[in-house]
Amino acid sequence: MTTTTPLLLLLLLTVSTIFHDISAERESMSAGVFGPPAFVTESCDNWCNNAAFDRDAREACVACNAGPQVNALCANRECSYCEREIVFPRSYPKLWREHPMFQTPAEGKTRCWCDTGCPVYAQASRALCWFECSAVCSGVVSKNV
């Protein structure tokens, strides 16, 4: 064993501890790469527990369990992926908009790269909806279509 071995072990232990601390902090904020942040899950649980007694809580609970929003205009007609998933103004229930941790600046915005904070939708809109989102992002087409 050389004199550098204890230093190397100390360095590895330090890096491991730092990585563990960062991972624990990230885990407390998010349910994973593709899951919602922990505060969303906690808020949804709370709203769903109160849904029988409170209309606003019921509306928020339904939205929590409905999955990603889709364009309501596509419920009764055939739509392209871009129309159904990306290029439509989103809206959120009252309790979502009032919650201080929810990012509701997305209210009324699309999932185009110029509007969304989600890296997955930003890439999808660039790759699959370039034409439609270019029109929205340049202001040629209204977001309220």
pTM of the entire structure? 0.64
Would 48 be classed as within a structural domain? no
Backbone angles phi, psi at 69, to 5 degrees: -65, 145
Whole domain around residue 104: which residue ranges? 70-145
Residue 104's pLDDT is: 61
pLDDT at position 16, please? Answer: 42
Is residue 77, in this structure, part of any structural domain at all?
A: yes
When pLDDT is cut at 50, 70 and 90, the band that residue 142 belongs to is low
One-letter amino acid identity for 5? T
- Read off the pLDDT of residues 103-123 as tens digits, 9 standing for 90 and up: 667 788 999 999 988 889 999
pLDDT of residue 34: 67
pLDDT at 60 over 70: yes
In a domain, 92, yes or no: yes
Extract the tokens encoding 46.
């709370």
Structure tokens at 96: 């979502």
62 occurs within a structural domain: no
Pick the more confident residue, 140 or 135.
135
- Can you give the pLDDT at residue 25? 40
127 within a domain of the structure (yes/no): yes
For residue 78, tell me if it sits in a domain: yes
Q: How confident is the model at residue 27 (pLDDT cuts 50, 70, 90)?
A: very low
Q: How many domains does the chain have?
A: 1
Say if residues 60 and 94 touch (Cβ distance below 8 Å). Answer: yes
Q: What is the pLDDT of residues 92-107, one digit of tens each?
A: 999 999 988 876 677 8
Sign, Cα dihedral of 8, 14, 20, 23: negative
Q: Is the pLDDT at 14 greater than 90, yes or no?
A: no
- What per-residue confidence (pLDDT) applies to 17? 41
Whether residue 119 lies inside any domain: the answer is yes
Domain for residue 56, yes or no?
no
Q: How far apart are CA 92 and CA 79, in angstroms?
A: 22
Which pLDDT value is given to residue 116? 87
Look over the chain and give the mean of its residue pLDDT values, rounded to a whole number.
Answer: 79
